Amino acid sequence: MPILADQPHDRARQADKIVKNPANYKICQGCDSIVLIKTHTCPNCASYRFEEGEEAVVRQARILGNRERRSVIPGDLS
């Protein structure tokens, strides 16, 4: 299960967690998902190429978190 895929409502919270602990994660070069550092094959797209590096992970987590925060879902309108 990709950390930041298919969990839209948790996305901002997950992103926060990743930003605080970037060494535990890496970025899939196939689909830009953030996955656990121990992952060998991306569970989302089956890629085996990853970008590691705390700076890159933090940047990507912020992008993914912000993308969700900007979107309006029906629950936000009530």
Q: Binding Zn ion by CB under 5 A: which of 31, 53, 54, 62?
A: 31
Considering the rule CB under 5 A, would residue 64 count as an interface residue with Zn ion? no
| 40 touches 21 (CB < 8 A) | no
CB of 28 to Zn ion, least distance (A): 3
Which C-beta is closer to Zn ion: that of 48 or that of 75? Answer: 48
Burial of residue 57 (number of CB atoms within 10 Å: 0-12, 13-18, 19+): buried
Q: Site residues (CB under 5 A) for Zn ion?
A: 28, 30-31, 33, 42, 44-45, 47
